[in-house]
Structure 1
Amino acid sequence: MTGKTFLLSSAFLALTAFAARAESELTVYTAFEADLLERYAAAFNEAHPDIKINWVRDSTGVVTAKLLAEKNNPKADAVWGLAATSLLVLKTEGMLEPYAPAGVDKLDPRFVDSDSPPSWVGVDAWIAAICFNTIEAEKLGLPAPATWEDLTKPEYAGHVVMPNPASSGTGFLDVSAWLQIFGEEKGWDYMDRLHRNIASYTHSGSKPCKMAGAGETVVGVSFEFRGAAAKTEGAPIEVITPSEGLGWDMEAGGIIAGTANLEAAQTLMDWAITPEAMAEYNAGFGVLALPGVAKPVPNYPAGAEPGMIENDFEWAANNRAAILEEWSRRYDNKSEPKS
């Protein structure tokens, strides 16, 4: 082979390798809020233009059910932005490929699967909170609630909206937290009394806060960053963190076992925990997996992070199906129709 031929061959191989990289493609399932997903996707694309991601987005419950239904014939390569309690279910089913992303040792240990290498890693936390419309409350003479128990008082009848835990990760973190805070018997008793005051159960964790902001309800049980964002946008709400304690979950990611696109999926997981990615999450989230990165979020409630309960994620994941079955049996009659 002449020197010229060798150079041409090398160039051809380099171009072929680049083309192969440029054609890397991933199918990623996510429950990220739609407006935030657009932001995160753009940041990842800028960092890794060689990887094309086909996004499949829905609520936490729908994404989890879809992944479980596809267990024996997976369609996804990776999951990014799904509740840790759902990732733990997938792990139990043997559906996740263990992988330690670069820099995982720098994360808050609460955000990392306990196995080594981990099957999933968290990126940020979202925390239960109440969005309370002050204008509508004043019209009705309703005081601001300070506790979860307050929401069971007769004066709030018909003025409370919360997410359905079977379809919403926010709804599930509420229910699992109440069972942990109050104990199972008292937890179900609490939800029985709360149910009397519920106007409807939504299939989105952010919708109750949006409804409160629009004056469609007085009390929206939702999560802290959605409340902070709504208030920053001018909604007449207070973001309240009940004193008994706050349920929370993490947006987490993992690789689906058996993916044919393992290298690209690992690249996604590596990027998902970088300081650059954390800066994107911080646009809406006040609690991040990487310590020392979070900057203050406008109108973020001071009681959110201190109020986070010591959440038993393993218990919540292991009992998820039974909790949802019991919840649906008792309360599903007030759920809004599924779109």
Structure 2
Amino acid sequence: MKSPSMLATAVFALSLAGTTAQADTQLTVYSAIEAEDLSRYAAAFSAHHPDITINWVRDSTGIITAKLLAEKTNPQADVIWGVAATSLLMLKSEGMLEPYNPTGVEKLDPKFVDADTPPYWTGMDAWVASICYNTVEADKLGLTPPTSWKDLLDSQYEGHLIMPNPNSSGTGFLDVSSWLQMFGEEGGWAYMDGLHKNIARYTHSGSKPCKLAAAGEIPIGISFAFRGAKSKAAGAPLEIIVPSEGVGWDMEATAIVAGTDNLEAAQKLADFAVTEEANGLYNGGYAVLAIPSVAKPVPHFPEGLQEGMIENDFEFAANNRSAILKEWQKRYDGKSDPKN
């Protein structure tokens, strides 16, 4: 059964699809793309393929990944468009993805393409961890801006931090997996033990901590730069901080679900996802693209963000995902928001 948020999105998607004249094929696409971008992407694809309608099922990465795994023996999706590459690596290992070499894939930066030939997934853009710091609310509380991840362990921040739950959020998972890579397994869990003391709550959305910081409901949200830049562009009093130790990151990526009944249409969407046009759409919010030559500066992105991206071990993250999430839940889930 779909969660209420999924049902709401599905209804939106179907009503959007209804504006397309007598589409011949409908694709069910699972996605964690930010909701405001879905209609732009669908409209651009539809301009090239008016005979194909996309019905979106949209939620956070962790929830979409769990849904796909639950449907392994009876897949409901045709395509995955805009879900973390670490999730797709895991789905690939479960035999759930269809290999396909999209037209134009050779233009992509090789690190944005699955290593197998033909590839099982292709990257779109990178989203990068950052700290959203509300300068107005922080000043009211007498806080000083952190410059590093370890600064967040300071007692001045107790009760003033929010971050995403990695079981439901891809952003939360990239934070946790990057801390384990940067600080080592023992040091990473010790860091999170200390951080947990200062956390007010864990959300089930990667963008929500930054949205809450932008709205002044919390002074500090651990989120990602794209969300911070959008909120800052809308006038929020945010400083987007790149911690000195480096920042975790992941790729939004595209894959065809194995066993789809709409393979030809799914391949057309996979072809579109790697085009320069599609990369231009991704550049509306993301500074790091699969086709680097397309990338233009994104307003309000913090300086040093790209240089701060760690050498992320995607295989480590994918292979250890289940164990990491189980351990995190055992230690910290008591402060998580209620699930829908």
Q: TM-score range with shorter-chain normalisation?
A: over 0.9
Asked whether 1:162 is paired with 2:126, we answer: no
Name the aligned partner's letter for residue 40 of structure 1: Y
Counterpart CA distance in 1 for 2:47 and 2:317 is: 36
Q: Alpha-carbon deviations, 1:129-161, whole Å to 9, x = none?
A: 000000111111111000000001000000000
1:231 is aligned to: 232
2:218 is aligned to: 217
Q: Where does the alignment leave 5 or more consecutive residues of structure 2 unmatched?
A: 1-21
Counterpart CA distance in 2 for 1:224 and 1:159 is: 19
SS of residue in 2 equivalent to 1:135: helix
Counterpart CA distance in 1 for 2:320 and 2:101 is: 27
SS of residue in 1 equivalent to 2:128: strand
Q: Where does the alignment leave 5 or more consecutive residues of structure 1 unmatched?
A: 1-20
Asked whether 1:146 is paired with 2:138, we answer: no
2:135 is aligned to: 134
Q: How much does 1:47 deviate?
A: 2.0
Q: Alpha-carbon deviations, 1:159-196, whole Å to 9, x = none?
A: 00000000000000000000000000000000000000
Counterpart CA distance in 1 for 2:143 and 2:23 is: 58
Counterpart CA distance in 1 for 2:305 and 2:237 is: 19
SS of residue in 1 equivalent to 2:46: helix
Q: How much does 1:291 deviate?
A: 1.5
Give the structure-1-normalised TM-score: 0.93
2:36 is aligned to: 35
Q: How much does 1:110 deviate?
A: 1.1
Counterpart CA distance in 1 for 2:122 and 2:322 is: 22
1:18 is aligned to: none
Name the aligned partner's letter for residue 201 of structure 1: Y
Counterpart CA distance in 1 for 2:34 and 2:230 is: 13
1:198 is aligned to: 199
SS of residue in 1 equivalent to 2:216: coil
Name the aligned partner's letter for residue 262 of structure 2: N
SS of residue in 2 equivalent to 1:25: strand
Counterpart CA distance in 2 for 1:113 and 1:302 is: 29
Asked whether 1:122 is paired with 2:123, we answer: yes
Q: How much does 1:40 deviate?
A: 1.0
1:254 is aligned to: 255
Q: How much does 1:61 deviate?
A: 0.9
Q: How much does 1:315 deviate?
A: 0.8
- Pairs aligned (count): 319
SS of residue in 2 equivalent to 1:123: strand
Identity level (%): 68
Counterpart CA distance in 2 for 1:198 and 1:206 is: 16
Give the structure-2-normalised TM-score: 0.93
SS of residue in 2 equivalent to 1:220: strand
Counterpart CA distance in 1 for 2:106 and 2:266 is: 19
Q: Alpha-carbon deviations, 1:103-131, whole Å to 9, x = none?
A: 11111111110101100001000000000
1:329 is aligned to: 330
Counterpart CA distance in 1 for 2:184 and 2:50 is: 49
Q: Alpha-carbon deviations, 1:182-235, whole Å to 9, x = none?
A: 000000000000000000000000000011111111110000011011111100
SS of residue in 2 equivalent to 1:255: strand
Name the aligned partner's letter for residue 120 of structure 2: S
- Spell out the pairing of 1:1-339 with structure 2 (5 A cutoff): 22-339=23-340
Name the aligned partner's letter for residue 178 of structure 1: W
Q: How much does 1:36 deviate?
A: 1.2
1:10 is aligned to: none
Counterpart CA distance in 2 for 1:327 and 1:320 is: 11
Name the aligned partner's letter for residue 61 of structure 1: G
Q: How much does 1:22 deviate?
A: 4.3
SS of residue in 2 equivalent to 1:292: helix
Counterpart CA distance in 2 for 1:283 and 1:96 is: 28
Q: Alpha-carbon deviations, 1:240-287, whole Å to 9, x = none?
A: 000101100000010011111111000000000111111111111111
Counterpart CA distance in 2 for 1:279 and 1:258 is: 30
